């Protein structure tokens, strides 16, 4: 504020009552203080003019940073950034060059209004010399490479065209921003220095953040790819035990986890159940002393529960600020079946050894009894009353001999002589052999066999299996009921089915239907299906029984004969 003149100051201090009195002087002084001086009036517009470009720079920097930080499409954001930079700086063009491979490679990430030759020349020059440049960490000119005394732009006296702005973050070199704008020297550059220096800091931060985000996304994709290719189910829970995440294999094993609209719709206690923890697993695992546990459970993720091996780990989730569970589980159904098959094999082997010994011990005395009965019959010729008992004895001896033969067949089955076998021929023979038994019971037997149903099998043993299945089906049927035999090719297998509409199989024998000495017939030995299974196993096939609403269906699957191109079904040359 301007001061009063000496003359006016003296007038203001006069004690008289004239216009030059104290009162008049104070009023005059007030008028002088409140009136702006010509210098202050001129400084306001001048200061405003000086601040206007700075405000524009700050506004531009703010919008550039916000655009870079907020756009998920990094390429589009870079294009807009370079375009805005060129426009604001009144430059000819700009480009972003990024380092990779441990700072050994340099490539153009985004370019705006720079020709390829300019960019290529800049990359070669910077890559070959920036680490040896005395001012390489500061804003410098591309033209300063290779000169005797390298300088920054603020030190350079000679003109230049390409400005190199190094981008570093926490000591790590990220790349370079190049600006195509002619400067006459350091004095000409000073007006842009503070803007470019601030831009250098902001842009380096955004490049580093984008790099970290890209690494996190890549790591996330990698983790998801690994999880989805695991042959184990992986699920994670929320704080309340709801399933938040399930990998592809978990969804494959548990259809309940597919296409869930919202997280937590399936609870861990619904999915996994343990006999000793009927009140639920989630809380017990969450409060357990150990962070990791493993045990067997029943998984209820689909229509049929299956045994599973469950491994659970507690983990603190920063995203939801609490402890959750990570569970890895495997379907044990196949392992359980293999264990059961091994136990069954061991039992059958022991039973086979016992059966062979018993059959051998019985067969010799039985032959002696049969011979004695026949001699006795000859001596009692003509005495029909006594011969009747001899005939009963011989019939029972013959039945016992059949049982002994079955025991020996079960204990020491002959090795199959595998060759090309047309299933149609086997089915035709079986239908002929069973026709009398079917006619006697009034049962209709029908057949439907595809021409390409050709397998690798011992025709005699396959006939034995099929005849046993068909006769069993006929004996399970009443008058006017039906037995259907069908065979078809199913990829690498030939599937043979024997279905009947009879009484079916009682519940209490279904699980042990193929075990030795299990029979639903009063006169049966219980070895027929056991022998059938053994023959099919020796052919590397499978046999199974489906229990229908009315009747049963037995399915035999044997390896199909390969199809030779141009030659139809047959053995390959």
- Segment 99-113 shows an average pLDDT of 88
Same domain as 343, residue 272: no
How far apart are the C-alpha atoms of 547 and 26, rounded to whole Å? 120
Q: Other CB atoms closer than 10 Å to residue 235's CB: what's the count?
A: 24
Q: In this structure, what CATH number is given to the domain that contains residue 296?
A: 3.30.450.20
Give per-residue pLDDT as tens, 258-315. Answer: 865 445 578 888 899 888 877 788 888 888 878 888 889 999 888 889 999 999 998 8
pLDDT digits (tens, 9 = 90+) for 6-16: 333 333 333 33
Q: Find the mean pLDDT for residues 124-133.
A: 84
Torsion of CA 309, 310, 311, 313, to 10 degrees: 180
Distance CA 26, CA 19 (A): 11
**222 lies in some domain:** no
Residues 353-379 have pLDDT tens digits of 666 667 666 777 877 888 888 888 888
390 and 380 in contact (C-beta within 8 Å)? Answer: yes
Residue 263 belongs to a domain: yes
| Share of the chain residues as helix, strand and coil, in percent rounded to the nearest 5 | 50, 25, 30
* Same domain? 361 vs 445: no
Question: pLDDT tens digits, residue range 489-500?
Answer: 988 899 999 999
- For the ranges 39-53, 86-100, 182-196, 466-480, the lowest mean pLDDT is seen at 39-53
Residue 217 lies inside a defined structural domain of this protein = no
Q: What is the DSSP secondary structure assignment for residue 260, as one 8-state letter?
A: -
Q: Are residues 204 and 233 in the same domain?
A: no
Residues 442 and 541 in one domain: yes
The SS3 assignment for 532 reads helix
- Confidence band, pLDDT 50/70/90 cuts, at residue 543: very high
Structure tokens at 158: 């000679």
**Is the torsion defined by CA of 48, 54, 56, 62 positive or negative?**
negative
- Tens digit of each residue's pLDDT (9 = 90 or more) over 395-405: 888 877 777 77
Q: Are residues 100 and 118 in the same domain?
A: yes
CA–CA gap between residue 205 and residue 65 (Å, rounded): 9
Same domain? For 67 and 196 the reply is yes
Domain end point (choices 278, 310, 331):
331
User: What is the per-residue pLDDT for 226?
Assistant: 85
C-alpha radius of gyration, the chain, whole number: 48
**Residue 358 shares a structural domain with residue 441:** no
Of the three residues 354, 383, 411, the one that is the final residue of a domain is 411
- Record the tokens describing residue 60, joined without a space: 């531009």
In a domain, residue 31? The reply is yes
One domain, residues 392 and 531: no
351 and 291: one domain? no
Residues 60 and 204 in one domain: yes
Q: Average of pLDDT values for 456-478? A: 91
Q: 158-162, 225-229, 333-337: which has the highest mean pLDDT?
A: 158-162
Give the residue numbers spanning the domain of 267: 229-331
Cβ count near 104 (within 10 Å): 8
Say if residue 262 is in the same domain as residue 292.
yes
Sign of CA dihedral 60, 62, 65, 68: negative
Confidence of residue 22 (pLDDT cuts 50, 70, 90): very low
Q: Shortest CA distance to 233 belongs to which of 184, 301, 135?
A: 301
Q: How far apart are the first and last CA of the chain?
A: 114
Shortest CA distance to 110 belongs to which of 64, 63, 178, 161? Answer: 178
Last residue in a domain, options 349, 383, 411: 411
Is 171 part of any domain?
A: yes
Query: Do 76 and 28 share a domain, yes or no?
Result: no
Q: What is the CATH number of the domain that holds 95?
A: 3.30.450.40
Beta partners for residue 308, in sequence order: 297, 331
Q: How far is 67 from 260, CA to CA, in rounded Å?
A: 35
Highest-confidence range of 44-58, 142-156, 175-189, 278-292, by mean pLDDT?
A: 175-189
Q: How many CA atoms lie within 13 A of 176 on its CB side?
A: 29
Per the model's pLDDT, the better-predicted residue between 563 and 456 turns out to be 456
Distance (Å, whole) CA 475 – CA 470: 9
**Mean pLDDT, all residues of the chain:** 80
* Measured distance CA(483)–CA(474) in Å, rounded: 7
Strand pairing class (482-490; 444-449): parallel
DSSP string, 347-400: HHHHHHHHHHHHHHHHHHHHHHHHHHHHHHHHHTTT-HHHHHHHHHHHHHHHHH
Query: What are the distances in angstroms from CA 470 to CA 64, 166, 394, 494?
Result: 83, 87, 28, 18
Q: Residue 234 domain-assigned?
A: yes
Beta bridge partners of 100: 105
Q: Are 559 and 537 in contact (CB under 8 A)?
A: no
Other CB atoms within 10 A of residue 516 CB: 24
**The pTM is what?**
0.49
CATH number at residue 560: 3.30.565.10
Q: What does the alpha-carbon distance between residue 431 and residue 427 come to, in Å, rounded to a whole number?
A: 6
CA 549, 551, 553, 554 torsion: positive or negative? Answer: positive
Quick check: is 219 in a domain? no
d(CA 394, CA 402): 12
Question: Residue 44 domain-assigned?
Answer: no
Q: Nearest-CA neighbor of 124 among 148, 138, 106, 111?
A: 106
Domains held by the chain: number: 5
CA 381 to chain centre: 83
- Pick from 154-163, 247-256, 402-411: least confident: 402-411
């Amino acid at each position: 504020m301007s001061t009063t003149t000496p003359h006016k100051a003296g007038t203001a201090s006069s004690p008289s009552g004239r216009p030059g009195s104290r009162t008049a002087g104070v009023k005059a002084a007030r008028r002088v203080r409140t009136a702006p001086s010509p210098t202050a009036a001129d400084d306001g517009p001048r200061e405003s003019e000086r601040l206007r470009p700075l405000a524009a720079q700050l506004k531009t920097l703010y919008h550039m940073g916000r655009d870079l930080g907020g756009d998920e499409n990094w390429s589009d954001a870079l294009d807009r950034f370079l375009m805005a930079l060129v426009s604001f700086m009144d430059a000819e063009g700009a480009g972003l060059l990024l380092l990779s491979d441990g700072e050994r490679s340099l490539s153009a990430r985004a370019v705006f209004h720079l020709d390829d030759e300019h960019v290529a020349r800049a990359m070669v020059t910077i890559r070959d010399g920036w680490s040896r440049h005395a001012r390489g960490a500061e804003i410098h000119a591309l033209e300063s490479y290779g000169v005797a005394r390298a300088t920054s732009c603020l030190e350079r006296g000679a003109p230049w065209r390409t400005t190199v702005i190094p981008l570093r973050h926490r000591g790590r070199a990220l790349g370079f921003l190049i600006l195509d704008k002619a400067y006459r020297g350091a004095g000409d550059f000073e007006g842009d220095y503070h803007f470019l220096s601030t831009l250098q800091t902001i842009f380096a931060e955004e490049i580093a953040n984008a790099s970290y985000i890209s690494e996190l996304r890549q790591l996330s994709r990698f983790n998801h790819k690994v999880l989805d290719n695991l042959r184990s189910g992986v699920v994670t829970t929320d704080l309340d035990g709801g399933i938040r995440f399930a990998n592809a294999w978990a969804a494959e094993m548990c259809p309940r986890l597919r296409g869930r609209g919202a997280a937590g719709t399936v609870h861990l206690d619904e999915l996994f159940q343990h006999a000793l923890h009927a009140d639920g697993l989630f809380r017990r695992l969450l409060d357990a002393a150990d962070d990791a546990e493993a045990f067997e459970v029943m998984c209820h993720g689909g229509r049929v529960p299956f045994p599973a091996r469950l491994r659970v780990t507690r983990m603190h989730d920063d995203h939801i600020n609490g402890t959750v569970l990570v569970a890895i589980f495997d379907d044990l159904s196949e392992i359980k079946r293999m264990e059961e098959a091994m136990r069954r094999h061991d039992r059958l082997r022991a039973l086979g050894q016992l059966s062979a010994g018993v059959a051998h011990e019985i067969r010799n005395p039985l032959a002696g009894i049969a011979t004695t009965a026949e001699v006795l019959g000859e001596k009692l010729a003509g005495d029909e009353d006594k011969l009747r008992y001899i005939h009963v004895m011989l019939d029972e001896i013959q039945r016992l001999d059949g049982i002994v033969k079955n025991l020996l067949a079960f204990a020491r089955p002959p090795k199959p002589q595998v060759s090309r076998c047309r299933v149609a021929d086997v089915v035709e023979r079986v239908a002929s052999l069973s026709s009398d038994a079917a006619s006697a019971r009034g049962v209709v037997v029908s057949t439907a066999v595809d021409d390409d149903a050709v397998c690798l099998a011992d025709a005699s043993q396959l006939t034995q299996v099929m005849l046993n299945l068909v006769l069993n089906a006929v004996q399970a049927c009443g008058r006017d009921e039906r037995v259907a035999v069908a065979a078809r090719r199913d990829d690498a297998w030939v599937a043979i089915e024997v279905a009947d509409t009879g009484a079916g199989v009682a519940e209490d024998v279904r699980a042990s239907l193929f075990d030795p000495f299990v029979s639903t017939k009063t006169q049966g030995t219980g070895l027929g299906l056991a022998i059938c299974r053994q023959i099919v196993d020796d052919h590397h096939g499978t046999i199974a029984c489906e229990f229908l609403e009315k009747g049963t269906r037995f399915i035999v699957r044997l390896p199909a004969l390969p199809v030779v191109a141009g030659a139809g079904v047959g053995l390959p040359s």
